[in-house]
Structure 1
Amino acid sequence: MKKERLKRMLDERTLVLIKPDAVKRGLIGVILERFERAGLKIVSCKLVLATREQLDGHFPKSEDWVCGMGHHTLEASKEYDFNPVDIFGTDDPFKIGLRIKEWNYNYLLSGSIMVLVLQGVHVIDTVRKFVGYTLPNKAMPGTIRGDFSVNASDLANTLKIACENLVHASSTQAEAEQEISNWFKPDEILS
C-alpha cells in the first residue's frame, strides 16, 4: 500500500503547452528552466503545429465549460466596464463562450506549440503555481505569466482575440490524463 502510494506520488504527470506567443518570443528555455530547477522531470516533449482535431481533443466539449467562459467574460465586463454586447453582439454566456473558444483555437493554430509532459511529486499543483493566474494582468510577479506576459482579458476582448497567456497547464489529474493521451502516444512518454 505504501509503495503504491509512493509510486503514484512520484509518478504524477501533467501536460503543459508552451503556446505560440511564448515560442515566438523565444521563451521556451526560460520556461523549461523554471520547471527543471524545481526538480520536475520532463518525460516527453515535442514541438508541433496543432490541428483543429488535436484542439477538439484538448478542449472540453461540455456546454457547462463553454458557458463558464462566457460567465467569466461577463464578470470581467463589469470589472473592466465594457459592454459585452458591443464586442460579442450578445450577452448570452453560451454564445460568448463559443466565440472565446474559437479565438482560442485561432491562437493555438497561429504558430508552433511546445507540448510537454512533466512528472514529479504534486506536479499539477506545482506547475500551476509556477504558471500563475490565467489572466496575465492578474498573475503575480515571480510566475511565468506575471514575469513574461503583458496581455489582459479586456484588451483581448476589445481586439476580438484570445487572451495570450504563454502557457497552459492541466488543472486536475483527470484533465492531465485526458490531455496527455490527446497529445501523446504511450510510447512517446519516458519514465
Structure 2
Amino acid sequence: MQRTLVIFKPDCVQRRLVGQILQRFEAKGLRIAALKMIQVSKELGEQHYAEHKERPFFPGLIRFITGGPVVVAVIAGPEAVAVVRGMMGKTSGIEAAPGTIRGDFSVSKQNNLIHGSDSPESAAREIALWFQPEEILDYDLAGQDWVAES
C-alpha cells in the first residue's frame, strides 16, 4: 500500500471542486488515509516548494498557495503515486488530456487545481510536512478484494 500527498489548491476550493475530484480517487479504488482543510502559511508553502526557490515564478507560486484555504489529503492504494499522477494529467490544463482532472477542469498552468507527489520519496517528505503521523489512518475497506488483487 503506497501513500501520496494530494493538495486541492485554492482554485479548487474556490471553485467547489474538491468533492468531485476526491470522488474520482475513491471511485478508482484509492482510499483517504488523512484529510484536512488549512490556510497555508508562507513558511509551509516555501518548505513545500523549496526545490523551486531560485526560479522566477517562486514568489507567485507562494502567493497562490497561500491565497486561500486548501484541502490536503493522504491518498493510499496500490501504486498511489503513479495512479494519482496519471489521473491528474499534465501540469498545464490546456495540454492535459480529456478525462484527466486537469484536462476536464483547468485551462491554466498555475491554477491547475491539484498537486500530487511526483515520487514515493517526495510523497514521504511532503506527507511529513503536512501531517503528523497520528493524523494518518490505516484501515480496511469493505469489498477491497473486489477492487484490487491481494
| Superposition RMSD in Å | 1.2
**Higher Cα Rg: structure 1 or 2?**
1
Pick aligned residue for 1:49 from 13, 26, 39: 39
- Give the partner amino acid of 1:101: F
Larger fraction in helix: 1
1:167 is aligned to: 114
Give TM-score, length-normalised by structure 2.
0.88
Aligned partners of 1:24, 1:146: CA distance in 2, in Å? Answer: 18
1:18 is aligned to: 8
1:119 is aligned to: 76
- Give the partner amino acid of 2:31: K
Aligned partners of 1:26, 1:59: CA distance in 2, in Å? Answer: 24
Which 4+ residue blocks in structure 1 deviate beyond 3 angstroms? none
Aligned partners of 1:181, 1:53: CA distance in 2, in Å? Answer: 15
1:31-180 equivalences under 5 Å are: 31-61=21-51, 65=52, 97=55, 99-151=56-108, 153=109, 163-180=110-127
2:146 is aligned to: none
Q: Aligned-pair distance for 1:106?
A: 0.5
Larger fraction in strand: 2
State the identity as a percent. 39
Q: Aligned-pair distance for 1:55?
A: 1.2
Structure 2 runs not aligned, ≥5 long: 139-150
Count matched residues. Answer: 138
Give TM-score, length-normalised by structure 1.
0.70
